[in-house]
Amino acid sequence: MAQKAISLKIDLRKQQLLTEHITTTGVQRDIARLASLTLPHTGDWLNVVPSPNLGLHLRTAEWAISVKYRLGCPIYSTAGACPACHSFSDKEGDHAISCGQEGERIARHNHLRDSLYHTAVSAALGPVREGRALIPGTEARPADVLIPNWCAGKDAAMDVTVVNPLQTRMIDQAAVHAGHSLKVRFNDKMTKHGEDCRRAGMVFIPLVVETLGGWEEQAEVQIKRLGAALARQTGQEEAEKIRHVFQSLSVRLAKGNAALFLNRTPSFPDPEVDGQE
């Protein structure tokens, strides 16, 4: 048997044992986290050759905190008040990664959007970023990236969104069904923009990714198409370009998550001394 095949068998056996162990603990968050990590592309950032010139690298602090999040280790030494919004922030970082104050969450979204946009530009697809007046009579902007003639001759309005599968309202079902949060957010986005885009002659495509890195099925299909288009334009191997596109997105997601964590170390009140604060 080839060494690669043996290594695969060992890895699968370790995964089975780990799954059995975590399931028997009954800790819902760990079960949901492990389910999320079984989705494709959750570990793409781990396989990227660091390239500061291309922005494909993680600083030491970013790497360390990203690994903690993936492994389920506490992000912080103790819980406390979030310095951004002053709400309670847990040790595991579930509040921090979803905190909407101070702009890091928007920056994470924009980095993913820009990566997809530049991929489409390099593939000569003529994309438009954050196009306006797409829905007549409204100020709605359903397309982070608009690609002309992408779906059966119709323009495609692609909307990037990141969802935390470990948030309170998702975690129970996320522990049972891997990718549950992806489906919920996909349906929410379709309800909000799908019909309006259809009436305007466009195809609306939510590109949903979990904070742990797994992409929704339709998003995965579209990213593969973008990678294939880029390969045709550059004359490079299709599988290689698709892998590079996913890796680039994965690194940018990890950096965005790390920014949220690193800027939200919980603050604590001064300890009481002799009964006085």
DSSP 124-140: T---EES-SS-STTS--
Domains: count for the chain: 1
Average confidence (pLDDT) over 106-129: 97
What does the pLDDT average to over 90-101? Answer: 95
Higher pLDDT, 248 or 7: 248
What is the separation of C-alpha 260 from the centre of its chain, rounded to a whole number of angstroms?
13
- Give CA–CA dist 254/49, Å, rounded: 15
The predicted pLDDT at position 273 comes to 53
Q: What is the pLDDT of residue 11?
A: 80
**How far, in Å, CA of 137 to CA of 62, rounded?**
43
What are the CB-based long-range contacts (under 8 Å, 24+) for 46-51? 47/247, 48/247, 48/248, 48/250, 48/251
68 is a domain residue: no
Tell me the pLDDT tens digit for each residue of 119-165. 999 999 999 999 888 888 888 889 999 999 999 999 999 999 999 99
Over the chain, what is the mean pLDDT? Answer: 92
Within-domain flag for 96: no
Q: pLDDT, tens digit, for every residue of 197-208?
A: 999 999 999 999
Mean pLDDT along residues 225-253: 96
Domain-located, residue 132: yes
Which residue range is the domain that position 176 belongs to? 9-53+104-257
pTM of the predicted model as reported, rounded to 2 decimal places: 0.89
42-68 pLDDT tens trace: 999 999 988 888 778 999 999 999 999
2 domain-assigned: no
In this prediction, residue 259 carries a pLDDT of 97
Contact in structure between 234 and 122 (CB atoms under 8 Å):
yes
Give the model's pLDDT for residue 277.
46
For residues 154 and 21, which has the higher predicted lDDT (pLDDT)?
154
- Whether 112 and 163 have beta carbons less than 8 Å apart is answered as no
The SS3 assignment for 202 reads strand
1-15 pLDDT per residue, tens: 888 888 888 888 887
Q: Does the pLDDT of residue 195 top 60, yes or no?
A: yes
276 part of a folded domain: no
Tell me if 177 is assigned to some domain. Answer: yes
| Residue 4: inside a domain | no
CA–CA distance, 113 with 271 (Å, rounded to integer): 44
Rounded to a whole number of angstroms, the CA Rg of the chain reads 21
* Residue 95 belongs to a domain: no
Any idea which of 45-49, 80-84, 266-270 has the lowest mean pLDDT? 266-270
Which band of pLDDT confidence, cut at 50, 70 and 90, is reported for residue 269?
Answer: low
